[in-house]
């Protein structure tokens, strides 16, 4: 099973439902539709209406972040995983580099993941090295640190998805070489096996400037279990073309 997950970031108003509707119509008639799962993560403001609208359809709705406390608290502007679950969110992105750069640390991320799993959300946990790490050949060290300081063996592995997003590739049009991508994805899977003491691992996705042109290159790398797509997920045509070209 492959995943195509769209991260809308700060984009979308109620009428943007049309974008997801078009994607849904495509999936309905796609002969490959049993091979993949589609998740779209609009901003908090749209989750409830979109989750209701797509309830019995082929697309799942998720959130892009949450606060690091359970249930309710006195933190102004905060939204808990419990609240997101209650309005129909099925998935949640945690640890995106946007949020790490705004102050999310490992301790906060561990709580976010823990509470999200507790409320049966499927967690898409993001990791990735920056340009400097890459240049200094610190990628493995950073990936291992990001995984092992947040994930615990007791976490429900079946509700976890890892998104490998090199920070230097997000929104820049730059993508890793196939060789590096295979190397880093294999390393992530090896590390996950150790953490969970298991032969199986959660799915590992790639994210960072994925578009309908470069997807063919990624489609040749079978150890990648799917994609976290930012910019190109805001257009139904671009998102659909990514899926079409992946299975071409």
Cβ proximity to ligand PGA, 152 vs 180, nearer residue: 180
Q: Is 37 helix (H, G, I), strand (E, B) or coil?
A: strand
Cβ proximity to ligand PGA, 172 vs 198, nearer residue: 172
User: Site residues for ligand PGA, window 164-183 (CB under 6 A)?
Assistant: 165, 170-171
For the purposes of burial, counting CB atoms within 10 Å of the CB of 93, is it exposed (0-12), middle (13-18) or buried (19 or more)? buried
Asked if 128 and 97 touch (Cβ cutoff 8 Å), the reply is yes
* CB of residue 39 to ligand PGA, shortest distance in Å: 12
Cβ proximity to ligand PGA, 82 vs 245, nearer residue: 245
Q: In this chain, which residue has its C-beta nearest to ligand PGA? A: 230
Does 208 bind ligand PGA (CB under 6 A)? Our answer is: yes
Q: Indicate which single residue of 116, 229, 240, 242 sits in contact with ligand PGA (rule: CB under 6 A).
A: 229
Interatomic CA distance for residues 215 and 127, integer angstroms: 20
Cβ neighbours of residue 103 closer than 8 Å, sequence gap 6 or more: none
User: Annotated catalytic sites, by residue?
Assistant: 96, 165
Does 210 bind ligand PGA (CB under 6 A)? Our answer is: yes
Cβ proximity to ligand PGA, 60 vs 209, nearer residue: 209
Interatomic CA distance for residues 28 and 237, integer angstroms: 15
Interatomic CA distance for residues 35 and 247, integer angstroms: 10
For binding to ligand PGA (CB under 6 A), which residues are involved? 7, 165, 170-171, 207-210, 228-231
């Amino acid at each position: 099973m492959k995943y195509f997950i769209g991260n809308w970031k700060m984009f979308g108003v109620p009428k943007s439902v049309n974008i997801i509707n078009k994607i849904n119509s495509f999936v309905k008639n796609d002969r490959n539709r049993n091979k993949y799962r589609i998740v779209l993560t609009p901003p908090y403001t749209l989750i409830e209406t979109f989750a209701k609208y797509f309830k019995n359809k082929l697309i799942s709705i998720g959130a892009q972040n949450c606060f690091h406390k359970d249930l309710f608290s006195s933190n102004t502007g905060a939204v808990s995983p419990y609240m997101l679950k209650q309005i129909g969110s099925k998935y949640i992105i945690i640890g995106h580099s946007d949020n790490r750069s705004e102050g999310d640390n490992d301790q906060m991320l561990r709580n976010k993941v823990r509470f999200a799993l507790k409320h049966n959300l499927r967690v898409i946990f993001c990791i990735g090295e920056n340009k400097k790490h890459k240049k200094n050949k610190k990628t493995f060290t950073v990936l291992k640190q990001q995984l092992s300081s947040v994930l615990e063996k007791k976490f429900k592995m079946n509700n976890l998805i890892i998104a490998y997003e090199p920070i230097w590739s997000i929104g820049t049009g730059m993508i890793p070489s196939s060789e590096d991508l295979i190397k880093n994805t294999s390393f992530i899977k090896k590390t996950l096996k150790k953490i969970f003491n298991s032969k199986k691992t959660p799915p590992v996705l790639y994210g960072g400037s994925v578009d309908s042109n470069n997807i063919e290159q990624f489609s040749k790398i079978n150890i990648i279990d799917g994609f976290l797509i930012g910019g190109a997920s805001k257009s139904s045509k671009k998102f659909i073309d990514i899926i079409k070209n992946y299975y071409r």
